[in-house]
Amino acid sequence: MSNFLTVQAQRFRLAGSGITSSATTIVLQSFKTPAGTNIVTADFGAIGYLTLDPGTSKEEVISFTTVTQNADGTATLTGVTRGLGFTTPYTTVSANQLSHAGGSVAVLSNPSAFYNKFPAKANDETITGYWTAPDPLSSQGIVTRDYMISLINGGTVSIDSLKVAGTAGETVAAGNLIYFKTSDAQWWKTDADTAATVEGVLLGLAQGSGTAGNSIAGGVLIRGLDLNQSGLSAGSNYYAGNTAGAISSSAGTTSKIIGVAKSTTSIYFDPVFNSALTASEKAAIAGGSTFGTPSGTNKFITQDYNASATGLPVVRVYLTASSPATWTKPAGLKYVVVEVQAGGGAGGIGGGNANDRGSGGGAGGYSKKTIAVATLGATETVTIGAAAGNSSFGAHATTTGGSAGVNATSGIILGGAGGAGASGDINVTGNYGWNAVTYDAAVFTSGRGAESKFGQGGREVTSNSAGNAAVGYGSGGGGGWGSAGNPVAAGAGAPGIVIVTEYYS
């Protein structure tokens, strides 16, 4: 239904005994057009106006919203508002509400309230209704709010290109790929052999021909649908070509995608659509461990990230006798795994008696423990055992050193005992050193040192010589073999080590 319509009609009269000053239902003797057609609600739209007793002292303006044509030829008006003001704001004025006798004249008039429904170009007004406009796609079409929202929400958009006026720096033709040279503010042909013509510059497609210093006919397309191509493969990416002004289905010397073919003669031109970094890549390049996490899809690792404790990968710290006696907890640490190895025992000496041999030294004990960061102190005291010495990482994991071998001139000479691990999640007792033995009362060997997790024991000797030292960490030294009047030294045991593996994620 339209909001506001007008009707051409003659005079009407009130039916029956008329109406009181407060009546909101009005009955007319008839309500027809001059042609005798019943007047109905739709003829007025949202509202109609009537003047009662016009030209008299009892003149009253009313409005109504509904017309009911009755079987007896009368018509009933409802939705009636009585006593409309003669001046703005044209609302009900109680003094204007009057009684009217039966037979009183009623006319479809054009009162002030009627004209107030029309906006005036010269007035500052608020329009509370809405108008239906012609097709917004026509040249004179008015775009409504609903149409605009439909476009924003995915409706069909008729604007398919963005073009600017341009001046050619050289002779160009329609469809040429060109770039804007800032030094002379003119458009020149691209050439992928020269990176400066395709990278870091504004690109466009000529829409017509142009010569040096003159305007390019049709301007320059800088984004959107270009219709000046030929021989393209729909759906394929196209690149700046190595021929001046050309585009190509394959990358040129400088790889620069400029768009995707829509058809054999048209291309969606968007020279940056495949060039932008992802948000995580930009964040990673910005630096700092809080700006994106390097991964299989984000392979940038910056100097700031690599130097940051929270950005570090797993770090393994080896603490030896030359290391500081204190470990300091790094920022960003989540937990550590510590491995504590005690020192290995020395081998037995080769005394000054004939065939005096030493057995091998025992390996140091081993302990391993995973420790949450909250359990760690800001610093932890680290003890690194020398040969046969104890090692520890705070009170979290402790180990004792291996025992030294012994010496004798005959029989089986037992190797030194291994040390023990304690307090860790895994605690291991070190191996015994090898025995020194006599074979068939004529073949003699000293004892080999015990192996450890991180070292090899000193080897045995089969002639008069000093024992061999252990290799690595925590292993036992080999025994020596002396002779009458010629004592020799035992092989030294290997020192201990503490390994702290730091985890940051």
Alpha-carbon gap, residue 467 to 349, rounded angstroms = 7
Does residue 504 belong to any structural domain of this protein?
Answer: yes
Residue type at position 294: P
3-class secondary-structure state, position 352: coil
Residue range(s) defining the domain that contains residue 288: 279-308
User: Which residue positions in the chain have pLDDT lower than 70?
Assistant: 1-3, 118-123, 125, 127-141, 151-158, 274-313, 440-443
Q: What is the pLDDT of residue 283?
A: 63
* Listed residue (504, 436, 470) closest to 341, CA to CA: 470
| Rounded CA separation 169/158 (Å) | 32
Residues 8 and 133 in one domain: yes
Residues 411 and 432 in one domain: yes
Statement to judge: residues 283 and 393 lie in one domain? no
Q: CB within 8 A of 305, min separation 6: which ones?
A: 284, 287, 288, 289, 291, 294, 311
Q: Are residues 360 and 470 in the same domain?
A: yes
pLDDT at residue 163, as a whole number: 93
pTM comes to 0.45
Position 438 scores a pLDDT of: 73
Whether residue 274 is contained in a domain is answered as: no
Predicted confidence at residue 312, as pLDDT, reads 60
Which of 158, 183, 203 corresponds to the end of one domain? 158
Interatomic CA distance for residues 63 and 78, integer angstroms: 9
pLDDT number for residue 253: 94
| pLDDT at residue number 329 | 93
Claim to verify: residue 229 and residue 82 sit in the same structural domain = no
Classify residue 316: in a domain, yes or no.
Answer: yes
Could you give the CA distance from residue 217 to residue 229 in angstroms, rounded to a whole number?
A: 16
pLDDT of 437 = 85
| Domain assignment present for 208 | yes
Domain identity same for 346 and 495:
yes
Q: Are 289 and 320 in a shared domain?
A: no
The C-alpha atoms of residue 222 and residue 179 are separated, in whole angstroms, by 10
* Total domains, the chain: 4
H or E element, residue 188: strand 186-189
Q: Residue 1 has what pLDDT?
A: 40
Residue 377 within any structural domain of the chain: yes
* Beta bridge mates, 299: none
Same domain for 296 and 339, yes or no, is: no
**Do the domain assignments include residue 226?**
yes
Which pLDDT belongs to residue 411?
80
**Same domain (yes/no): 20, 105:** yes
Give domain status of residue 228, yes or no: yes
Residues 6+ apart with CB under 8 A from 386: 321, 343, 495, 496
Residue 252 lies in a domain: yes
Are residues 21 and 133 part of one domain? yes
pLDDT at 316: 87
**Residue 221 shares a structural domain with residue 77:** no
Question: Each residue of 320-329: pLDDT tens digit?
Answer: 988 888 999 9
List, as own/partner pairs, every contact residues 393-396 make where C-beta atoms lie below 8 angstroms and the sequence separation is at least 24, other chains included.
Answer: 393/327, 393/338, 393/340, 393/369, 393/498, 393/500, 395/423, 396/338, 396/369, 396/371, 396/423, 396/424
122 and 182 fall within a common domain: no
